[in-house]
Amino acid sequence: MSYLVRVTIHDESFPQPTGPRHGGFCEAGAASLEWGGQTGWKVRPKGVAARFVVRLVACAMQANEEEMLSPRRGTAEAARARQVVMYLLHTSLSISYADIADMFERDRTTVSHACRTIEDLRDDPMHDDQIASLEEMVDLARSMSAAELGRDTRRAHGTLAGS
């Protein structure tokens, strides 16, 4: 499966993705990847970087964001996309299992299971390529945000859950 996602840095709230059904183009924007930023977007997870990852994965995997963020398991597609988000938040943004669990209103062991599941899926080259592409996009957006802000976005994320 191939897909194209455009990463855009915006000063306002996230745009709606157009998705692959609209010319194969998705947009995943962020006010910044600075921890605790405010965009007025009212759904969990609350950190701007976390919301960016949710939007990016929903776009790339054609998953419904509302279903991904629901306290219910949802469809298999939404559950898998949620696991990918949890994995990326932990591996690419160094957010702890406990903080990710709080964002998704789940148990820390659920996040641990999600990360192990995605790590196991990476043994398949197709899945590994997809996850690697998503990791690259998160890293690119993070470095663009750091350069734009003139700050180091790797600092502690103490305000993540409180934004």
Q: What is the pLDDT of residues 96-131, one digit of tens each?
A: 999 999 888 899 999 999 999 999 999 999 999 999
- The average pLDDT across 74-101 equals 93
**In CATH, which of 3.30.365.10, 1.10.1750.10, 2.30.30.280, 3.60.15.10 is domain 5-149?**
1.10.1750.10
Collapse the DSSP code of 37 into the 3-class scheme (helix H, G, I; strand E, B; otherwise coil) and give the result.
Answer: coil
> For the chain, what are the domain ranges?
5-149
Residue with token string 């605790």: 36
What is the predicted pLDDT for the residue at 82?
Answer: 95
Q: DSSP character for 162?
A: T
Question: Whole-model pTM?
Answer: 0.67
Structure tokens at 116: 């192990």
Q: Which helix (H) or strand (E) holds 9?
A: strand 5-9
Confidence of residue 162 (pLDDT cuts 50, 70, 90): very low
Do residues 11 and 32 lie in contact, with contact meaning Cβ atoms separated by under 8 Å?
Answer: no
